[in-house]
Amino acid sequence: MLEVDSMENPMDPGRSRAFAGRRVAITGASGSLGLALLRAFHGCGASLVALTTRVEPLELGSSDGTPIALEQVTWSCGHEADLRELFSHVDILVINHGINLHGDRSATGLERSLEVNALSCLRLLELFAAAQPSSPSAQPAKGPQPCREVWINTSEAEILPAVSPLYEISKRLVGQLVSLRALDLAGPELRIRRLVLGPFRSNLNPIGLMGAAFVAQAVLRLAAWDWGLIIVTPNPLTYVLFPFVVLARWTYLGLFSRPSSSSEAPTPST
């Protein structure tokens, strides 16, 4: 039974070691998973930046009602470049925002889905990769300095049906674009992790099987175990198929594309 929304966040020493003191920015912060991730990172001692399209203040409390301190930054698709300066002071960027227009197949719906679910994510990835980090905020007691990280929340809809064609197409696109650009952007200074999640309850999917809090805790646990491909789903097919898809893509894209010479982020036309 995956109904564990009310689960407390036990202070896990492994997770705390991995994220304590790190500055984490999360898009889609006011959504179900955004809020759950903010709480989970807070439980690990990270400092929080909520990237949201809302202008109203975001109030976040822990399970005992204690308010959680966070910096709220308003952004919108097409204006990603406004976040350039902020990204110099962020250690982990979680690209989590998304929309699901379900049965819509209109030209407007297509454009919105591609813009929100794919193109804005790609621009954020490029900007974050190009940002010059200021002095890192996380200073581990011992061991090497952790590198900056981008986590991209695609979906198992990247490879499996989600009864929402535009959602699947846009998630597949962002998944493929991330695989392509990771060949140049990922390295010792930037780690790119992919979150592949199954159905959880949220505004986007009110009938999801899992709870967002459970998913957020599982994501952080797997990340603390150093996994780069983070799969959380009740569907066993995803665990079998996804690693093959990623490996096949990586091989194909690596063989048939050339390294790029510039890491300069393109400026979106607004």
Ligand X SMILES: NC(=O)c1ccc[n+]([C@@H]2O[C@H](COP(=O)([O-])OP(=O)(O)OC[C@H]3O[C@@H](n4cnc5c(N)ncnc54)[C@H](OP(=O)(O)O)[C@@H]3O)[C@@H](O)[C@H]2O)c1
List the catalytic residues.
167
Residue 39 near residue 15 (C-beta atoms within 8 A): no
Q: Does 203 bind ligand X (CB under 6 A)?
A: yes
Q: Binding ligand X by CB under 6 A: which of 9, 52, 113, 179?
A: 52
Q: Binding ligand X by CB under 6 A: which of 133, 208, 228, 268?
A: 208
**What does the buried/exposed string (b/e) look like for 140-174 if buried means 16 or more CB atoms within 10 Å of the residue's CB?**
eeeeeebebbbbbbbbbbbbbebebbbbbbbbbbb
| Sole window of 32-40, 126-134, 237-245, 254-262 interacting with ligand X (rule: CB under 6 A) | 32-40
Question: How many chain residues touch ligand X (CB under 6 A)?
Answer: 26
Q: Does 96 bind ligand X (CB under 6 A)?
A: yes
Which conformational region is residue 45 in: left (phi greater than 0), alpha (psi within -120 to 50 degrees), or beta?
left
Q: Does 200 bind ligand X (CB under 6 A)?
A: yes
Count Cα neighbours of 81 within 13 Å in the Cβ-side half-sphere: 8
Instruction: Lay out the site mask for ligand X across 138-157 (x = CB under 6 A, - = otherwise).
Output: ---------------x-x--
Residue 209 near residue 233 (C-beta atoms within 8 A): no
Which residue, 19 or 167, is less far from ligand X as judged by CB? 167
d(CA 202, CA 223): 22
The footprint of ligand X (CB under 6 A) covers 28-34, 52-54, 77, 96-99, 116, 153, 155, 197, 199-200, 202-205, 208
